[in-house]
C-alpha cells in the first residue's frame, strides 16, 4: 500500500464522504470506485442509476444500456480506463504494455526500411505522434519524443507544394537522422523491463502542494540559483561558462547587454541552463534525503516562460543546441520520476525573483559583486550554504549539447551526472574570493 | 480515498453504456438536419448520430446525471429511483434538463 499525505488540494475525506462511492464518467465510459466494504452497494447503485437515466432493462428496442457482452463481472484493484492501466494498490498509472508492443512493432517495421524506402506517409507520422503524445500523460519521455516527430511532420507539410486529398496517405516523409534517432530511442524504451519509464505514481500525477522550491535566473553575465528549502545558493559567471565550452555572446562592458547581433547563446537558453543546473542540484539533495510518503513535489521557479515551456514541451525548436539541452532536461525529468519526484515548472514575476536575479546579475556599472556581498544584501540568502558545483557537470553539459548523440546517451549521462555531488561550504565561510561557485573534480 | 484510508483496498468497476449517443433523441425539427439518402430512401435519424459535434455535450448531460445518481444512496428500488430523485433534487434536475 502507498501512503500519501493530505494537502490543500486533497484534504482528508469527511466520514460522510468516506461512505459515498465515487463515480466517474467520460462520455460512455464509467468507473465506480469504493472501499471494499461499500463496493457491492456502489455497483448496485451505479446500475440502478444507469437504468433510471437510460431506461430499464428490456424496455428499449435499441437494447439495454448495460449490455452483457460489454459488462465486466468482476471488481478489481487493477483496471484499464481511458487507455491507461490504473492500480489502486500501487497507486500508479501505466501506459499498457500491449499498446507499447503494438507501437514497437510498427516502428520496427519503419526502421527496417532501407535507403530510399526509409520514409513514412504523413498519416503514419501523425499516428505515431498521436500515440506517443497520448502516452506523454504518464511518460516523461513521451512529450519530448512526440514533439521531435512532430517537427518532421510539420516540415513535410510546409514543404508540400500542393497538399491534395491523397497527400495524407501517399506523400513521402523521408526520415531525418534526428527522426531515426528518436524512433530508435522509442523502440529501446518501449519494451524496457524497467516500466517506470511508462508509469507514473498517482501521487505525482495530480496537483499537490509543493514540498520544495528552487529559484534560478540568468543574465548575459552569469547564471545563478538558490533554494530556501534546501538552503543552498550558487552562481556561475560568463567567463567560466565560456571556459567550459558554452558559446557566450559578446557583451557591452557598460550595459552588460549583447553588442549588435553578436553570435552566441540567447538569454532563453541561458535561463534554461540555469534551471537545469538548479534541477540537478535539487535532485542530488533529494537522492541523499531518500524517499518520503507521496514523493517530492519540486517547484522549479524561473522568470522566463520559454525556459519553463521547454521543460514541458521540450524540443519544439529545431535549434540543435536546444535540442541537446532539451534532451538532457528530459533525461533529468526521467531521473526525477525514478526518485518519486514531480517537477513543476512555475513562472515567477521577475521583480519577485530578486535573490536569483542578484546572484546572476552585475551591479550598476557592470561590476560583478562578491558572493558574500550578495548574500548579505538579501535576508533569505543569509541562511543559505554556498554550493560549489563540480566543473565536470558544466563540461559534460557543454560537450553533450554540442554533439549529435541519441537520447539513450542522454539518459545514461543524466544518471551518471547524478552520481556527482556538490561541495557544500559551511555557513560563515569567507566567500570573498569566490567568483563562480565551482570546484575542479 | 487513499489519503484517508491508506491500508484499505480501493475497488473499481468499469462499465460502458451501449449505443450511448443514440439514446438521446433529436427534436423533430433538428433531426432532419442529420438526414441522409440511401438508395431510394431518405433516412432521418431519431437518435443522435456518431460523429455529430453536438452529440458528446448533449449525451454528457445525461452522463453527468447518472454520475450524480450513482453517488447518492436512495432507500428505494430502481423503478422508483427517478421519482425519488425528482422529489429530492427537483430544482437541480429541472435546471439540468432545461
- pLDDT profile of chain A (441 residues), mean per 10: 82 86 86 90 89 81 81 89 89 90 90 80 84 79 69 68 73 78 81 82 89 94 93 92 86 75 83 94 94 92 90 64 79 87 93 92 79 87 91 88 62 88 84 81 76
- Residues A119-128 have pLDDT tens digits of 888 888 888 8
Distance from CA of B44 to the nearest CA of A (A): 16
Three-class SS state of B38: strand
Q: Are A285 and A232 in contact (CB under 8 A)?
A: yes
Same domain for A167 and A246: no
Confirm whether A91 is domain-assigned: no
Which of B5, B12, B96, B97 to probe the A interface (max A CBs under 10 A)? B12
Task: Please tell me if residue A41 touches chain B, with a CB cutoff of 8 Å.
Answer: yes
Q: Which residue of A has its CA nearest to B56?
A: A27
- Residues A296-336 have pLDDT tens digits of 999 999 999 988 888 876 555 667 677 778 878 888 888 89
Helix axes A39-54, B55-70, angle to 10 degrees: 140
| Contact call for A70 and B13, based on CB within 8 A | no
Task: Please tell me if residue A54 touches chain B, with a CB cutoff of 8 Å.
Answer: yes
Same domain for A425 and A290: yes
Task: Please tell me if residue A35 touches chain B, with a CB cutoff of 8 Å.
Answer: yes
The DSSP element (H or E) to which B72 belongs, if any, is none
Same domain for A226 and A254: yes
Q: Which residue of B has its CA nearest to A56?
A: B79
The pLDDT score that the predictor gives to residue A251 is: 78
Distance from CA of A160 to the nearest CA of B (A): 29
Q: Would you say residue B4 has pLDDT above 60?
A: yes
| Contact call for B1 and A35, based on CB within 8 A | yes
Same domain for A270 and A177: no
State the Rg of chain B over Cα: 19
| Contact call for B1 and A31, based on CB within 8 A | no
The pLDDT score that the predictor gives to residue A126 is: 84
The pLDDT score that the predictor gives to residue A315 is: 53
Same domain for A165 and A50: no
Same domain for A406 and A355: yes
* Beta pairing class for A84-87 and A212-219: unpaired
Same domain for A142 and A60: no
d(CA A406, CA A196): 20
Q: Is the dihedral of CA A422, A426, A428, A434 positive or negative?
A: negative
Host domain of residue A30: 15-75
The pLDDT score that the predictor gives to residue A144 is: 65
Same domain for A418 and A324: yes
Confirm whether A421 is domain-assigned: yes
- Residues B42-96 have pLDDT tens digits of 999 988 988 888 889 989 888 888 888 888 765 555 566 666 666 555 545 444 4
Q: Which residues of B touch A89 (CB under 8 A)?
A: 9-10
Domain boundaries, chain B: 21-97
Q: Count Cβ atoms within 10 A of the Cβ of residue A295 and give its class: 0-12 exposed, 13-18 middle, 19 or more buried.
A: buried
Task: Please tell me if residue A24 touches chain B, with a CB cutoff of 8 Å.
Answer: yes
| Contact call for A88 and B2, based on CB within 8 A | yes
The pLDDT score that the predictor gives to residue A161 is: 61
d(CA A135, CA A146): 9
| Contact call for A4 and B70, based on CB within 8 A | no
Which of B22, B45, B66, B93 to probe the A interface (max A CBs under 10 A)? B66
Look at chain A and report how many structural domains it folds into: 3
Task: Please tell me if residue A21 touches chain B, with a CB cutoff of 8 Å.
Answer: yes
Distance from CA of B74 to the nearest CA of A (A): 9
Confirm whether A60 is domain-assigned: yes
The pLDDT score that the predictor gives to residue A441 is: 76
Same domain for A163 and A269: no
Strand partners, A32: A23, B13
Same domain for A178 and A241: no
Q: Is the dihedral of CA A358, A360, A365, A368 positive or negative?
A: positive
Q: Which residues of B touch A201 (CB under 8 A)?
A: none
Same domain for A212 and A177: no
Q: Is the dihedral of CA A74, A80, A85, A87 positive or negative?
A: negative
| Contact call for B67 and A25, based on CB within 8 A | yes
Of A192, A219, A247, the residue at which a domain comes to its end is A192
Task: Please tell me if residue A20 touches chain B, with a CB cutoff of 8 Å.
Answer: yes
Q: Which residues of A touch B53 (CB under 8 A)?
A: none
d(CA A68, CA A63): 10
Q: Are A141 and A189 in contact (CB under 8 A)?
A: yes
Three-class SS state of B33: helix
* B8 closest CB neighbour out of A36, A75, A202: A36
d(CA B34, CA B42): 11
Same domain for A236 and A169: no
Q: Which residues of A touch B6 (CB under 8 A)?
A: 1-4
d(CA A319, CA A311): 15
CB pairs under 8 A between A and B: 181
Residue labelled with grid coordinates 422508483: B80
Distance from CA of A129 to the nearest CA of B (A): 23
Task: Please tell me if residue A429 touches chain B, with a CB cutoff of 8 Å.
Answer: no
Confirm whether A1 is domain-assigned: no
Within 10 Å of residue A199's Cβ, how many Cβ atoms?
18
d(CA A344, CA A327): 17
Tell me how far the alpha carbon of residue A175 is from its chain's centroid.
Answer: 26
Which of B5, B15, B72, B81 to probe the A interface (max A CBs under 10 A)? B15
* B13 closest CB neighbour out of A4, A55, A72: A72
Which of A34, A38, A40, A54 to probe the B interface (max B CBs under 10 A)? A54
The pLDDT score that the predictor gives to residue B80 is: 62
Q: Which residues of A touch B8 (CB under 8 A)?
A: 35-37
Residue labelled with grid coordinates 529545431: A318
Amino acid at each position: 500500500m502507498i501512503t500519501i499525505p493530505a494537502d490543500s488540494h486533497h484534504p482528508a475525506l469527511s466520514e460522510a464522504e468516506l461512505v459515498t462511492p465515487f463515480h466517474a464518467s467520460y462520455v460512455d465510459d464509467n468507473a465506480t470506485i469504493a472501499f471494499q466494504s461499500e463496493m457491492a452497494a456502489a455497483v448496485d447503485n451505479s446500475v440502478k442509476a444507469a437504468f433510471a437515466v437510460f431506461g430499464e432493462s428490456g424496455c428499449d428496442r435499441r437494447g439495454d444500456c448495460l449490455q452483457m457482452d460489454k459488462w465486466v463481472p468482476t471488481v478489481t484493484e487493477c483496471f484499464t480506463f481511458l487507455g491507461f492501466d490504473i492500480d489502486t494498490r500501487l497507486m500508479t498509472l501505466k501506459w499498457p504494455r500491449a499498446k507499447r508492443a503494438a507501437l514497437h512493432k510498427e516502428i520496427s517495421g519503419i526502421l527496417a526500411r532501407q535507403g530510399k524506402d526509409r520514409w513514412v506517409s504523413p498519416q503514419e507520422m501523425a499516428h505515431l505522434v498521436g500515440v506517443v503524445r497520448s502516452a506523454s500523460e504518464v511518460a516523461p519521455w513521451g512529450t519530448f519524443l512526440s514533439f521531435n516527430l512532430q517537427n518532421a511532420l510539420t516540415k513535410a507539410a510546409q514543404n508540400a507544394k500542393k497538399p491534395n486529398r491523397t497527400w495524407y496517405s501517399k506523400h513521402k516523409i523521408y526520415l531525418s537522422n534526428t527522426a531515426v534517432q528518436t524512433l530508435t530511442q522509442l523502440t529501446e524504451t518501449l519494451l524496457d523491463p524497467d516500466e517506470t519509464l511508462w508509469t507514473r505514481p498517482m501521487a505525482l500525477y495530480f496537483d499537490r502542494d509543493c514540498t520544495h522550491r528552487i529559484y534560478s535566473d540568468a543574465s548575459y553575465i552569469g547564471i545563478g540559483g538558490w533554494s530556501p528549502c534546501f538552503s543552498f545558493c550558487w552562481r556561475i559567471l560568463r567567463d567560466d561558462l565560456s571556459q567550459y565550452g558554452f558559446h557566450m555572446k559578446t557583451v557591452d562592458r557598460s550595459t552588460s547587454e549583447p553588442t549588435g547581433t553578436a553570435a552566441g547563446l540567447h538569454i532563453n537558453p541561458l535561463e534554461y541552463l540555469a534551471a537545469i543546473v538548479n534541477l540537478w542540484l535539487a535532485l542530488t539533495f533529494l537522492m541523499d534525503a531518500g524517499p518520503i510518503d507521496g514523493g517530492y513535489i519540486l517547484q522549479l521557479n524561473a522568470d522566463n516562460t520559454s525556459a519553463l515551456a521547454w521543460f514541458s514541451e521540450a524540443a519544439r525548436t529545431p535549434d540543435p543546441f536546444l535540442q541537446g539541452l532539451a534532451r538532457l532536461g528530459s533525461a533529468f525529468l526521467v531521473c526525477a520520476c525514478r526518485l518519486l519526484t514531480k517537477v513543476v515548472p512555475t513562472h515567477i514575476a521577475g521583480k519577485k525573483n530578486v535573490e536569483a536575479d542578484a546572484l546572476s546579475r552585475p551591479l550598476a556599472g557592470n561590476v560583478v559583486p562578491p558572493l558574500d556581498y550578495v548574500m548579505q544584501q538579501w535576508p533569505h540568502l543569509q541562511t543559505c550554504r554556498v554550493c560549489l558545483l563540480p566543473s565536470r557537470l558544466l563540461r559534460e553539459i557543454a560537450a553533450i549539447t554540442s554533439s549529435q548523440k541519441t537520447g539513450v546517451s542522454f539518459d545514461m549521462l543524466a544518471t551518471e551526472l547524478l552520481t556527482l555531488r556538490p561541495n557544500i561550504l559551511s555557513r560563515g565561510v569567507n566567500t570573498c574570493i569566490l567568483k563562480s561557485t565551482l570546484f575542479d573534480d | 480515498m487513499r489519503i484517508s484510508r491508506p491500508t484499505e483496498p480501493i475497488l473499481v468497476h468499469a462499465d460502458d453504456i451501449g449505443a450511448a449517443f443514440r439514446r438521446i433523441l433529436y427534436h423533430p425539427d433538428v433531426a432532419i438536419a442529420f438526414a441522409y439518402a440511401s438508395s431510394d430512401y431518405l433516412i432521418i435519424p431519431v437518435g443522435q448520430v456518431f460523429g455529430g459535434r453536438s452529440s458528446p455535450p448533449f449525451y454528457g448531460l445525461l452522463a453527468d446525471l447518472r454520475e450524480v445518481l450513482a453517488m447518492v444512496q436512495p432507500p428505494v428500488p430502481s423503478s422508483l429511483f427517478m421519482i425519488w430523485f425528482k422529489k429530492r433534487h427537483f430544482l437541480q434536475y429541472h435546471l439540468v434538463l432545461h
